[in-house]
Amino acid sequence: MAHIGKRVKAAREGISRTQLYSLNEAITLLKSKSTAKFDETIEIAMNLGVDPKHADQMVRGVCNLPNGSGRVLRVAVFARGAKAEEARKAGADIVGDEDLVATVQGGKIDFDRCIATPDMMPLVGRLGKVLGPRGIMPNPKVGTVTMDLITAVAAAKGGSVEFKVEKAGIIQGAVGKISFDEAKLVENIKAFADAVIKAKPTGAKGTYVNRIALSSTMGPGIKIDVSTVTA
């Protein structure tokens, strides 16, 4: 049996592993259990009634968190000419075309989000094996292949969170920092859950959202009453 450290024991103390807490109760508990010397990230995990092996049950999308994610993100844009200049003015950290493709192919990925104009996709498509596993491959379905670079860069910088269902039917996402006040966390979490619900695929049958849990970087997972998040 794995050894449980003092920090983990202290974090779990007073939290039931079977009880369903309201969203507000869960946030209060996570804040009270936070002892880390850094600003922990709050993450949500949603267990969905889908089987992503079937194309008509794939869940994917993007959520613009109303209060941001609390992370400072570096954004790269693949664009040429006037669109490249537009991206720079919008605040993109890295802008390029063939040169940026070569840099990424060489193994240097110094960014957290990636955006491309449609005309760049034949080139960017070569990077699928590199960017895909990191979850940052530009995709028109989540607004990262677009001509509207001003909006796309602002969204990436301002706290847009992409989500994609995993094999077990689980979606996870960062929804803020432990330092956020409770009202802002509630707003972000409900916005994320709403985006996932709106992305419900046509092939999903029966109960769509089965379970929801909330956790912090160093804290325990807390099971949430689904109705307090999705109402």
User: Per residue in 21-60, pLDDT tens?
Assistant: 999 999 999 999 888 899 999 999 999 999 999 999 999 9
Residues 83, 153, single domain; the answer is yes
pLDDT 10s digits, 107-153: 999 999 999 999 999 999 999 999 998 889 999 988 899 999 999 99
Inside any domain, residue 61: yes
CATH code, 131: 3.40.50.790
Residues 145, 177, single domain; the answer is no
Provide the domain limits for residue 80: 75-157
- Three-class DSSP labels, 182-200: HHHHHHHHHHHHHHHHHCC
Inside any domain, residue 1: no
Q: What's the rounded Cα separation, in Å, for the pair 172 and 45? A: 4
Residue 47 has phi, psi (to 5 degrees) of: -95, 115
| pLDDT at residue number 216 | 94
* Residue where a domain terminates, one of 110, 127, 157: 157
Residue 66 has phi, psi (to 5 degrees) of: -60, -25
Residues 52, 35, single domain; the answer is yes
Looking at the structure of the chain, the number of domains it has is 2
* Residue where a domain terminates, one of 157, 182, 216: 157
Residues 86, 143, single domain; the answer is yes
Angle between helices 182-198 and 23-33 (to 10 degrees): 130
